Homo-oligomer: A and B are copies of this chain.
């Protein structure tokens, strides 16, 4: 256990671990970017259900499509730019969590059921929790 912690520490202190959300090394990451778009995905589906205006409903479909695409993008950036090998070692389900969350963003495109957006939001919360833990360490 101690050995594992040492290995982790060691890896974190190597010069080359920092990447960034802009692929430079700006070091600025925030799951809020994905969450804000996911909240929009969720709300759009709700508004769609409450409306019977065909133009509004059409626009809801196309705008939700774009917002969900942004969720995918922001999650993908977090996954491959922020998280490093030691994180994956510490949180072995990280890959699977991101995979299912990005898939869920795709599923939220396919339906106007607000439940899809809700499920997406709870997955982003799960990711955020891990993110906060890695920030503290």
Contact = CB atoms under 8 A, between A and B. Distances in A.
Nearest to A102: B80
Copies in the complex: 6
A103 to B, nearest CB: 5
Main secondary structure of the interface of A (DSSP, over half): helix
A91 to B, nearest CB: 13
Contacts of A65: 23, 59, 62-63
B109 A81 contact: no
Contacts of A22: 40, 44, 63, 66-67
Contacts of A25: 47
A85 to B, nearest CB: 9
Contact of A59 (B21, B40, B55, B109): B109
4 closest A-B pairs by CB: A95-B95, A26-B43, A80-B102, A28-B40
